[in-house]
Structure 1
Amino acid sequence: MSSAMIELILQATLDTLYMVAISGFISTLVGLPLGVMLYVTRPRQILAKPLLNQVLSIITNIGRSIPFIILMVAIIPFTRMLVGTSIGINAASVPLTIAAIPFVARLVEAALNEISPGLVEAAQAMGATPWQIIAKVLIPEARGGIMTGLTITVVTLVSYSAMAGAVGGGGLGDLGIRYGYNRFNPTIMMITVVILVVMVQGFQSLGDYLVRKSDRK
């Protein structure tokens, strides 16, 4: 294998990591509070607002129901307006982030569902405000479940980023399609698959480690 091809593989790997890092970070910043709001605004919860909860739930469900490849194409005008182009790793990061936000929100909501209602009731009995309960009870108690959800999200983003290569998103998916599939080079295709598998295993192992540390605290 030529040095130029090795350089291409290295660059594609870095591009994939960049897309996953950017979309994972932003989707966590938005999806985490959205998931908390989905939980606490339910009827009979500490910030019960049924109408707001229904609106947030509908928006989240719509975001989760659109297949990623269709989402990428559908928001091309928005992507172009935001980053100035519809191809490349920066452009691919936009639909990746939008797809991940509702995913994170539902996983955070699911993690909060595992918390015993008795903990919240005890905090209320001691005079804690709803926001104190969120910060001091809900999020700390659900920390392990939230970390698990974020790990699942990052792993999913790796596969989504590879799919983005089908429409010029860059990264390992683009490399595999252009040099592996289109040029009938099974070696490049296999290398791409192996790197993606190693990447997923690495993220999963890191996530499992952080969950174990979180559960011991």
Structure 2
Amino acid sequence: MLEQVMNQYNEAIMDTDRDKALQVVHDAVELGVTPEEVIFNVVVPAIEMMMKSVSENQGSSLAQHFMAAQIASEVVDEMVPKFRQAPDIIGRVVIGTPQGDFHGLGKRIVSGCLKAMMVEVTDLGLNVPAERFVDEAVARDAQVIAISAMMVHTARSPNGCLKVRQILHERGLEERMRIAVGGAPYRFDPELYKVVQADAWAENGIEAGRVISGLIREVLK
């Protein structure tokens, strides 16, 4: 039955049909599929399938990326509290857009993917000052600060990622935290992440799940 559920869920994701995807999940639970199986045998493989589609340039759309992440986030929020035993969280991330940037779609996709991968995500919202990125990361014992910028001037701004790096250095936090960046400016210039002194960048929201989980493992090793 799980294979059928997974196929139906994937079909709904590719059709960007949120209601159908959620109905597939709810019907499966009513038929005896456990919340754990929903997450680890249906939702996570769907995210991995989308990652594979992106990495192999199979033409998946932004709408499909967004829907896969959004539904994953909703299902995780609903199912995890029903687990027989609380799942192990692989790490923690704080995410937001830098000061002056009010475009939030990218970080919403990233957040949904990370939740499905059992990463604890704190969304700081839009127009986030550098000091708040670091303060919240420290308060939540996060391994990664994720900064999503849509505009070149906010990506390059001395008050954005560059300032976050400066604060991490001044506070002696560079060994326990990493910075990941993403958004249109980094797709236009793949070397830009080095200019703004980030540790890594992701080409899109789905790929960011893989990149950020890798940074978490790097910090925790």
* Same fold (TM > 0.5): no
Q: Which structure would you say has the larger Rg?
A: 1
**Which TM-score applies when normalising by structure 1?**
0.28
Q: Point out the structure with the larger helix share.
A: 1
Q: Point out the structure with the larger strand share.
A: 2
Q: Kindly indicate whether structure 1 or structure 2 has the higher relative contact order, using CA contacts under 8 Å at least 6 residues apart.
A: 1
